[in-house]
Amino acid sequence: MGNMRKHRYPAGGRGKIKTVAQRTLKQPINCSGIALHSGLDVKMTIRPSEVDSGIVFRRTDITGGGALIPARWDQVTDTRMCSTLGNPEGVTIATVEHMMAALAGLEIDNAVIEVNGPEVPIMDGSAAPFVFLIECAGVVAQDRPRRVIRVLKPIAVDDGDRYASLAPGNGFSVSFDIDFDSAAVSRQRISVELGNGAFKRDLARARTFGFLHEVEELRASGLARGGSLDNAVVISGDKVLNEGGLRYDDEFVRHKALDAVGDLYLAGAPLRGHFYGQRSGHGTNNALLRALFADAEAWCYDELRSDEIEASVGLDIWTGDRAPTGAIPATA
């Protein structure tokens, strides 16, 4: 999957610059909840894991080696309504994006997520409950440098209606545009530079959302059986039906950005670059990762340096209405 390239420091540098250590949980922690689409009650445990093991899901209701499903872009088997991972044995785990977003936002490199069913619990429809669980478990540094994926040139996918791109840059930022006919949503834009608690502050509490007529159609198709006003923002016409209203004025676009953070963490390591999405969904986000890794000149592995954490704060965020070159059809 591309070449391992080390960062070269400019002449006159002041000695060796420290790298940032990988992180995992200090101890296991568990929860239970309802699965959004199947409606099943499921139990989940997040466990610490060894260095360089990455994020792995394990189906505890499946026996043998087929229970393990690596959280990677090339394991994505379905992107309708959520991101679903699968392994060669045909075992799947669905609705992983909010869990992955929390792991990305809290910079967890290695963990095993055990689930006793085919879907991660939806909790309240956001990533906040997973952030809470990780913080309760505690985080510990490990004795290996954190590996990152540097974006080296612009990559984009475009199907005419949905668009997503990655561009080189320090740090990791997410910019997103949405535009709906409903006055409850309308047009919204957000740009967030991740780091220094930005994920927890600006994105984690944003809930998944849908329109009432879509929910009825999904249930008729056997989906969204666990969906309710307790775990999703539901819109009817131009009104939000949830009694408490919205958590942010622009909660809708914030949740789309949250989804993108989770989908992009399926790269297998943190990205260093700028993401821009325009009505992008799980399929387009996965297509973007596939386009990135298909071009060996577009990315490289590197070790995260401590000086980068400080240097990335306050940078202008690349939004790019459309990437100048390299857009390919989004087929996923």
Please check the confidence at residue 137 and state whether its pLDDT lies above 50: yes
| Contact assessment for residue 274 and residue 318, using Cβ atoms and an 8 Å cutoff | yes
Checking if the pLDDT of 320 tops 50, the result is no
User: How far apart (Å, rounded) are the C-alpha atoms in residues 303 and 299?
Assistant: 13
Q: Is the pLDDT of residue 326 over 70?
A: no
Mean pLDDT, range 49-66, rounded to an integer: 93
pLDDT > 60? residue 319:
no
Helix (H) or strand (E) holding 235: strand 233-236
Q: What is the pLDDT of residue 219?
A: 67
DSSP letters along 123-149, please? TTSSSHHHHHHHHHH-EEEEEEEPEEE
pLDDT of residue 191: 97
Please give the Cα distance from 215 to 39 (Å, whole number): 13
Q: For the chain, give the mean pLDDT.
A: 88
- CATH architecture label of 21-328: 2-Layer Sandwich (3.30)
Q: How many CB atoms lie within 10 A of CB 10?
A: 5
**Res. 69: pLDDT tops 50:** yes
Domain boundaries, the chain: 21-328
Output the six-digit token pair for 139.
Answer: 């985080």
**Tokens representing 278?**
């325009």
Least confident residue range of 105-109, 159-163, 286-290? 159-163
The per-residue pLDDT for range 190-238, each reduced to its tens digit, is 999 998 899 999 999 999 998 887 776 766 766 666 788 899 999 998 8
Residue 282 annotated to the active site: yes
Pairing of strands 55-59, 327-328: unpaired
Query: Containing H/E element for 101?
Result: helix 97-105
In order, the DSSP letters of 58-76 are EETTS-SGGGEEE--GGGE
Q: Which letter does DSSP use for residue 191 in this model?
A: E
Read off the pLDDT band of 315 (50, 70, 90): very low
Query: What was the pLDDT predicted at 37?
Result: 77
Residue 207 is classified by DSSP as P
Mean pLDDT of 136-144: 97
What pTM did the predictor assign? 0.88
Over residues 14-26, the mean pLDDT reads: 84
Structure tokens at 163: 């668009």
